[in-house]
Amino acid sequence: MHRTEMVNKYLKILNLDNRELDFDFLCQLVSRHLATFAFSSVGCLLGHDLPLDFDSLFSRILVNRRGGYCFEHNGFFYEILEELGFSPELYLARVIYGQDTHPGLTHRLSIVKCQGQSYVLDVGFGPYCPRVPVPMSGAETNDGHKVFRIHEKRQGEYHIQVLKDNDFFSLYRFELARYGQSDCEIGHFYSHRHPDAPLVNLLVASRVLGNETRLLNNLEYSVSRGNKKETIQVSSSQQLIQILTKELDIQITDEEGRQLYQGLSAKKTKLF
């Protein structure tokens, strides 16, 4: 299938074909991608090969509904934006979760200029993904559920932050340096192959819908709607398979479900 056909199929699934390619389109593209395609560490946890070429990402995310994490989702999204003529810029980030630490470059995002402003577009950060583009200007942005901003904490060091408990909390930080696909391959290799990498050890899966966020954190499943949160503990492989396939639309086999459950039953750590 030609790349243009693949992009058109993607837009049709999101019901965004025949739309004007303006800022409203970008907002809809982000929110509908998050609602349709799940964030997932299933492939990392099962030790699968996860190539980052566009054809492989298209098959994994869109056709086979296996989900993916930042290097997959944001890599795929970058190619879509580029094909549509938005000229995205690739950046890598350090995930810090409110700490003043210096971890590796294990997160990928895109920046797009639209109508005279630059915006961060991120569809690969699980339940904390902004449902809309976030302006680099520092203006606070409400996506309908959470408030985000880009804060230049030190000169040239930009933090994407979410309002949490009446204060802004840094999720990750990035610099406007030059990056390429080879940098992504290095970060991706660590993230899905290194024995100590979080996504190799933890099952995380989420969908960010219009009115709720669904999150599977190892064997804890929660659904958040506004300030209300319902949580259950997963107690069997069949229940895990049901949540992954029906609630999160991540297609796995029964054998994969049993393998995931057996590996997770003794784990207590959570990522989000």
* Same structural domain, 15 and 144: yes
| pLDDT tens readout for residues 15-45 | 999 889 999 999 999 999 999 999 999 999 9
pLDDT at position 103 over 80: yes
The CATH number of whichever domain residue 80 belongs to comes to 3.30.2140.20
The CATH number of whichever domain residue 215 belongs to comes to 3.30.2140.10
d(CA 190, CA 71): 11
Which H or E element spans position 6? helix 3-13
d(CA 83, CA 227): 38
* Same structural domain, 36 and 129: yes
* Same structural domain, 141 and 255: no
Q: Out of 159, 174, 189, pick the residue that ends a domain.
A: 174
d(CA 228, CA 88): 36
Mean pLDDT score of the chain:
95
Confidence (pLDDT) at 265? 67
In a domain, 161, yes or no: yes
Confidence (pLDDT) at 270? 67
* Same structural domain, 160 and 209: no
Confidence (pLDDT) at 19? 85
| pLDDT tens readout for residues 111-155 | 999 999 999 999 999 999 999 999 999 999 999 889 999 999 999
Could you list the residue range(s) of the whole structural domain that residue 259 is in?
197-264
First CA to last CA distance, the chain: 37
pLDDT at position 266 over 60: no
What is the count of structural domains for the chain? 2
pLDDT at position 267 over 70: no
